[in-house]
């Protein structure tokens, strides 16, 4: 599994908490479109089709704080 940046881990943690892109963006001082880009890249890196799978994969890999 690829090494993830601190920002990617922050986004995964907020996503796993059930936050939408707009909420994640507000919490991290980003634009929602930037969050969407991060999530698309994370789905590719973690081989996931959707946000639910992404949260599960992150939890199983111990990537959540």
Q: Where are the alpha helices (DSSP H) in 19-60?
A: 21-28, 32-45, 51-60
pLDDT of residue 23: 97
Domain membership of residue 33 (yes or no) is: yes
What is the C-alpha to C-alpha distance for residues 21 and 31, in angstroms, rounded to an integer? 9
- pLDDT, one tens digit per residue, over 24-41 is 999 999 999 999 999 999
Structural domain harbouring 29: 6-60
Domain membership of residue 1 (yes or no) is: no
Question: How many other C-beta atoms can be found within 10 angstroms of the C-beta atom of residue 14?
Answer: 20
> What is the reported pTM?
0.88
Number of domains the chain contains: 1
pLDDT of residue 2: 59
Domain membership of residue 65 (yes or no) is: no
CATH number at residue 40: 1.10.10.10
DSSP annotation of 61: T
Domain membership of residue 38 (yes or no) is: yes
Domain membership of residue 14 (yes or no) is: yes
């Amino acid at each position: 599994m690829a090494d993830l940046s601190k920002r990617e881990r922050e986004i995964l943690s907020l996503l796993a908490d059930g936050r939408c892109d707009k909420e994640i963006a507000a919490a991290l001082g980003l634009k929602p479109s930037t969050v969407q880009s991060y999530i698309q890249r994370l789905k590719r890196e973690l081989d996931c089709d959707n946000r639910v799978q992404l949260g599960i994969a992150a939890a199983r890999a111990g990537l959540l704080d």
